[in-house]
A and B are shown apart, each in its own frame.
Chain A
Amino acid sequence: MSILDAKIPEGTLEQKWTKFRSSVPLVNPANKRNLEVIVVGSGLAGASAAASLAELGYKVKVFCFQDSPRRAHSIAAQGGINAAKNYQNDGDSVYRLFYDTIKGGDYRSREANVYRLAEVSSGIIDQCVAQGVPFAREYGGMLSNRSFGGTQVQRTFYAAGQTGQQLLLGAYSALERQIGMGAVKMYSRHEMLETVTIDGKCRGIIARDLTTGKLERHFGHAVLLCTGGYGNVFYLSTNAMGSNVTAAWKAHKKGAHFANPCFTQIHPTCIPVSGDHQSKLTLMSESLRNDGRIWVPKKAGDTRKPIDIPEEERDYYLERRYPAFGNLVPRDVASRAAKERCDAGFGVGNSKMAVYLDFAFNMDRYGHIEASKKGLDNPDAHTIRELGKGVVKEKYGNLFDMYQQITGENPYETPMRIYPAVHYTMGGLWVDYNLMTTVPGLYALGEANFSDHGANRLGASALMQGLADGYFVIPYTIGSYLSKEISTKSIDTNHEAFSEAEKAVQEKLNKFLAIKGTKSVDYFHKKLGKIMWDECGMARTEAGLKKSIDDVRALQKEFWSDVIVPGSADEFNPELEKAGRVIDFLELGELMCIDALDRNESCGGHFREEFQTEEGEALRDDEKYAYVAAWEFKAQNQFELHKEELKYENIKIAQRSYK
């Protein structure tokens, strides 16, 4: 086991980034023109990085598997993006955002990175507004804010329930501008299937043109993986159908350590599973918890309609257990509390695996305010409710419509039914302060890296991190590597390292097609998802994890002997794409269980039943586990643990309390 060097700059917390920026070696404009950078992924992280690097003068190639860079999964983010602007004058600051993020992450992230994130957050909002991102505004023309879980200030910027779309369209427009100017070459419907290493440095990728099936070789002086999270290892998640771990996993197998793979975020407010046919789960944004109150009946097995259950017979369990934060506790806490109530028999709906998210109280509160604005004397209850509905519609209309579309129920009339679902992965490729992985020249940005969120991410912080990485971090940190590469000429892709990598990819594709077994790729994906959800989901145990490692390995074997993939490799073949992604999930799933088993503590989203306080809260073990677990791939089914000790020099590490 070795010690990992995070390359954290010297100086006080407040000085580190400023000093770094002022002293990092620069690349002069003439040399930039000769340096080629490959960006895999066009989500917030990838699009912002690619546009910013091209603006600086680098030659950039961008890859995404969708038909357009604008469709990256970032588009689906609903609720908002944090920034320490303190526009509301409610006591926010860079330090407070930093502190909330470290605490929210249950003290499992790196201080220096998180502080930098908080520092650059403000510039992100400025940049996006300048691009024309239509954030929500007040009547006076100023930007509007709302609250998200785990904080007591209003620092979340939003664009109705489609913040991700608006931010991504901003980054995409910046990217398209560079494409139009010839500074970026875009490869849509292309999937990266291998990294290429030459003399210990990452020098390019093998990509498959998904329309024709042709394999292509691409050289880069540096490669940036901005390929998103791996929540779909659980099959059902709020992620888009195509979200996958393949790029990160291929890099892992070529030497990049994978950090904290078991840190998964289960989001408390999603539409519950309705049947076996289900292909994905839909998030109901956390912002709804600003105005929705969560409850279950006080009586187990109560089958009355929610509106028939009187106030005194409802258990607003989050408000009861966590009076200081109430419905706005962080996600891990809210999810576990929902599971606890449902497991104890208080769940609602047909499956009894759901709780209510009820807007009636706040609709009436808003209704009263509106009525008094309009000067209505003694408005009746109906008028008040209608006025309140209008306010709620303005804030969350598209989410309410989405809910009604999926469930067939009208959430303006009856509370939403919600249940936790897999949403985000804090784990990912290990990176140092420069966002470089353990392979020189290979970087990871956005959700694909193990990130700044420790063991639990706060709402509205992923968009912030993705854009921070892309707009404001990588343009500086990449200089410290590329400044030493100015005399490296472009490497011809006939180089044997490229040929070998391409050959390996081709052989694997052929192998999938040759098995001609009896079970579809989805069969394996669903089976894996069930193992992961049952044993490596919201609650984990030593015995369960041990069993699941065996189960996942058995499933890998079954895959290689019995999968069926129709069609051929030289055409558009979505089943073949899926096969590659699912086998990578099968390998990752094993590592996630191994990691969860190694971490004999509970922290954030990682809850080991053996380690909890008397009140059922996560019980950390800071003596033994205040480290980042970075796994090295040794051979198939063999991983070695490396640790990065986490040192807290500015924050006093404490048990997390939201009471």
Chain B
Amino acid sequence: MSGNMNLTLKVWRQKNKNAEGKLVNYQVKDISPDMSFLEMIDVLNEQLIVKGDEPIAFDHDCREGICGMCSLYINGRPHGPKDRITTCQLHMRSFEDGQTITIEPWRAASFPIVKDLAVDRSAFDRIIASGGYVSVNTGNAQDANSLPIGKEDADLSFAAAACIGCGACVAACKNASAMLFVSAKVSQLALLPQGQPERYLRVHNMVAKMDEEGFGNCTNTGACEAECPKGISLSNIARMNRDFFVAGIASDN
């Protein structure tokens, strides 16, 4: 089924990390409003491939908003014009016939470009490795229900745990700060009894790692929360700052 939308795309093309990149214009025709945004790029790529040209490289996997792999900066917004969804959940019915769409990668020094629209977000993994866990070896656990957790805390913890690690918060922030991402993990565990023993050490180590990876400072502009596809709340940053403060006092002693 083909549709009736014709669009102009301006797409960032960059051969590799060290090459220079530029915006390149493409025309796509007969796009159906029921297509997803990534399926629209598939259509363009198919045209490029059969001509022997290199298709546009972009990251994606689940295509249903959960793996956090897709990462496009569309018309100046991470994950495109609609709130609370990822790029792969965006459909062409959100655009108009004849529109020009600019597609760029996440821009942040800590997320170097791999190729075209794909970036390297491994800094996030390294931050988790520095403390985003509960130290419990397999086999150590007690019966799951021996640890009752009030529904309110459980729900708040879950809301923080919904972060998919996509990096839109960093891309949205003029300082390329990773505070929303880090605070989501810190909060998830700080709100649970299991997370208490390492609570302050965790925040200390994760913040130190975040700084070391070169992410910027938080100046409370709130752009991250506005662009986060999972609605991760700024209140997590406040919680993390409180814990970080306590951690600082504790380590001064």
Contacts and interface: CB of A to CB of B under 8 A. Distances in A.
Interface in A1-46: none
A487 B48 CA distance: 54
A557 to B, nearest CB: 20
Contacts of B2: 276-277
A70 B126 CA distance: 12
A628 B239 CA distance: 54
Interface stretch (A120-128, A430-438, A451-459): A120-128
A76 interface: yes
A405 B195 CA distance: 35
A183 B129 CA distance: 12
Contact of A572 (B1, B66, B118, B134): B118
A600 to B, nearest CB: 37
Nearest to B59: A67
Interface string A56-67: 000000000011
Q: Is the interface of B mostly helix, strand, loop or mixed?
A: loop
Nearest to A53: B138
Given A160-B158, A408-B91, A73 B144 contact: no
B192 A134 contact: yes
A159 B68 contact: no
A279 B128 contact: no
Given A131-B134, A176-B129, A139 B64 contact: no
B60 to A, nearest CB: 6
A471 B145 CA distance: 20
B114 A572 contact: yes
Given A70-B165, A127-B141, A180-B129, A571 B16 contact: yes
A347 to B, nearest CB: 18
A588 B59 CA distance: 26
A570 to B, nearest CB: 10
A73 B61 contact: yes
B143 interface: yes
Contact of A138 (B60, B67, B151): B151
A566 B49 contact: yes
Nearest to A72: B67
Given A67-B120, A166-B161, A176 B133 contact: yes
Given A126-B142, A159-B158, A518-B50, A68 B115 contact: no
B115 A169 contact: no
B240 interface: no
A142 interface: yes
Interface string A250-275: 00000000000000000000000011
A472 interface: yes
B194 A132 contact: yes
Contacts of A571: 15-16, 115
B129 A179 contact: yes
A406 B37 CA distance: 11
Interface in B60-77: 60-69
A66 B46 CA distance: 22
A188 B125 contact: yes
Interface stretch (B28-36, B96-104, B171-179, B241-249): B28-36
Contact of A137 (B34, B93, B149): B149
A173 B134 contact: yes
A129 B194 contact: yes
Nearest to B56: A574
Contacts, number: 231
Contacts of B67: 66, 71, 73, 75-76, 240
B159 to A, nearest CB: 9
B53 interface: yes
Contacts of B42: 277, 279, 522
B164 interface: yes
B133 A129 contact: no
B32 A277 contact: yes
B162 interface: yes
Contact of A277 (B43, B66, B132, B151): B43
A152 interface: no
B10 interface: no
Interface string A175-212: 01101100000101100000000000000000000010
A406 B16 CA distance: 33
A402 B158 contact: no
B157 interface: yes
Interface in A426-446: none
Nearest to B61: A240
Interface string B99-118: 00000000000000011001
B43 to A, nearest CB: 7
Interface in A324-340: none
B138 A277 contact: no
Contact of A180 (B85, B93, B130, B142): B130
A485 interface: no
A102 B128 CA distance: 39
Contacts of B138: 48, 51-52, 55, 127, 174, 471-472, 475
A477 interface: no
B130 A130 contact: no
A530 interface: no
A572 B89 contact: no
B55 A186 contact: no
Contacts of B4: none
Nearest to A77: B66
Contact of A566 (B36, B55, B60, B63): B55
Contacts of B91: 405-406, 408
15 contacts: A66-B67, A68-B68, A68-B122, A73-B67, A132-B189, A132-B192, A134-B161, A134-B188, A143-B144, A165-B66, A173-B134, A177-B129, A188-B122, A406-B89, A408-B34
User: Which 3 residue pairs spanning A and B have beta carbons closest together?
Assistant: A141-B148, A275-B1, A180-B129
Interface of B: 1-2, 15-16, 32, 34-36, 38-39, 42-43, 46, 48-50, 52-55, 57, 59-69, 85, 89, 91, 93, 114-115, 118, 120-122, 124-125, 128-145, 147-151, 154, 157-158, 161-162, 164-165, 188-189, 192, 194-195
Given A129-B144, A135-B144, A471-B138, 15 more contacts: A66-B61, A69-B125, A73-B61, A75-B67, A76-B62, A87-B145, A130-B141, A137-B149, A138-B151, A141-B148, A211-B114, A241-B63, A520-B46, A522-B46, A564-B49
